[in-house]
Amino acid sequence: MENSIETVYFLENPEKDIIKFATGTQLRYEDVVKEVFGVASINDLHMMLQYNKSFQNSICHCHGISEKNITLDRIIRIASKMDLLRFKQQLMDQKRMHLDEEPLEEDLSITRPFDSIIKLQEGIFQWDDADYSYNAVTTGA
């Protein structure tokens, strides 16, 4: 097992219709925040939430909330198992589009998108090569 378990985050910019997944390391050291939101850091997102009216409106419309209920966790949060299942489906759909003919099931394999062990909202998950997904790690009593 690795020394630290990476947390996977869900980032959403409803104004530009962008959804992206990133690890904590990617958020700290890569330009993921800039790619999704167009600002240099998470700290700049507070300013966007406070002063960018079109960004505020897109969040309200997307989540069905009022302006006073906008918080940072509406656009950046720890990913859930359900989020990851949707992400897996997107990866498989992308792979299908790139295959010219009717794909065989073995052609639809996807590579592990993150570390072999990750943390989600529901706990710790481990990659399973057999079904190309992350499964919950159960701890013994």
Does the pLDDT at position 62 exceed 80?
A: yes
Q: State the DSSP string of 56-71.
A: HHHHHHHHT--GGG--
Let me know how many helices (H) and strands (E) the chain has, helices first.
5, 6
Beta strands in 76-140 (DSSP E): 76-78, 117-120, 123-128, 133-136
pTM of the model: 0.85
Per-residue pLDDT tens for 104-122? Answer: 555 567 888 999 999 999 9
Per-residue pLDDT tens for 124-141? Answer: 999 998 888 899 998 765
**Identity of the residue numbered 112:** R
Q: Are residues 87 and 131 in the same domain?
A: yes
Residue 120 resides in a domain: yes
% of the chain with per-residue pLDDT over 70 = 89
Largest alpha-carbon pair distance within the chain? 51
List, in sequence order, every residue forming a beta bridge with 119; answer none if it has no partner.
Answer: 7, 124
- Per-residue pLDDT band at 59 (split at 50, 70, 90): very high
**Structural domain count of the chain:** 2
Per-residue pLDDT tens for 67-104? Answer: 989 999 999 999 999 999 988 888 888 877 776 555 55
Residue 44 resides in a domain: yes
| Alpha-carbon span 109 to 91, nearest angstrom | 9
Q: Give the range of the structural domain holding residue 125, as residue numbers without chain letter.
A: 81-136
| Residue 14, both tokens | 């409803």
Residue 141 resides in a domain: no
